[in-house]
Structure 1
Amino acid sequence: MATIDLTGSDFEQTIIDNKIVLVDFWAEWCGPCKQFAPTYSAVSEKFDDIVFAKVDTEAEQQLAAAASIRSIPTIMAFKDGHLVYNEAGALPPQALESLIGQIQELDVEKAIRESGQAQ
């Protein structure tokens, strides 16, 4: 599946409507973002059941601020509507694929229950 561009108007609905969504927050002027883009695109082709999205932080400044983006690239992952990963920095292909595997295996409801018990 090719990557899609997200805006403030479709971000939340995309997260809600899809089981797993990865979001790459990036900017045109960002060197590491440009280096990571081919990796993100290539890995997206391997996972038809996952939405790979991109948010241009320059064009979507309000969305980037709402997501508390402080450094780019930042990768966020959502599963079943819940944020399950949020880290700045580009990942090599194997690390991105490993992350996706972990997200696919994650039992979100169990993780929520366990985090509630830990508090």
Structure 2
Amino acid sequence: MGLCLGKPRIDGDDSEENVKFSGGNVHLITSKESWDQKLVEASGDGKIVIANFSATWCGPCKMIAPFYRELSEKYPSAMFLLIDVEELTELSTSWEVKATPTFFLIRDGRQVDKHVGANKTQLEKRITAIVDSTTQCQN
């Protein structure tokens, strides 16, 4: 199904790896404060947040990262965030992330949907459905 359940960190700082995971319109979240700021910003702009809880050592996460970047460019009306579960363990725990990748679709700071695993088709279907519903509400 394409998900990682957990693996201890082997080498030191993985921050350079995160660059490969981000890009496009994906915002790398490096602190709880930046997470809170982005959620407030998205709510103010009426945007849906797609939050990718990922890990640099996770094979399925690496596989879906380029697709996630493509989605961020395809759906500019949404805000795409990337959270490294190893870097922000407290945030990952508070969102009850049990496997990577886990994607949360968030509206006004609240989870409206969740996708676990690297199934590209299912992820895009969920994003399309929520973005389309938001667009219809605004018209």
Q: Normalising by structure 2, report the TM-score.
A: 0.69
Deviation at 1:81, TM superposition (A): 2.5
Give the AA of the match of 2:118: A
Other-structure match for 1:117: none
User: Does structure 1 residue 41 correspond to structure 2 residue 64?
Assistant: no
User: Does structure 1 residue 11 correspond to structure 2 residue 35?
Assistant: yes
Give the AA of the match of 1:104: V
Deviation at 1:65, TM superposition (A): 0.9
Other-structure match for 1:55: 83
CA RMSD of aligned residues (A): 1.6
Other-structure match for 2:15: none
Unaligned runs of 5+ in 1: 108-119
CA contact (8 A) 1:3 1:53 kept: yes
**What secondary structure does 1:44 align onto?**
helix
Q: 88, 103, 108: which one pairs with 1:75?
A: 103
Q: How many correspondences in the alignment?
A: 106
Deviation at 1:13, TM superposition (A): 2.6
1-structure distance, mates of 2:131, 2:25:
19
Identity within the alignment, %: 31
Deviation at 1:30, TM superposition (A): 0.5
Other-structure match for 1:110: none
Other-structure match for 2:51: 23
1-structure distance, mates of 2:65, 2:123:
12
Deviation at 1:80, TM superposition (A): 2.7
Deviation at 1:84, TM superposition (A): 0.6
Give the AA of the match of 1:2: N
Q: Deviations over 1:14-66 (max 9, x none)?
A: 12321211010011111111001011011111111211110001111111111
CA contact (8 A) 1:79 1:103 kept: no
Other-structure match for 2:131: 104
Q: Normalising by structure 1, report the TM-score.
A: 0.80
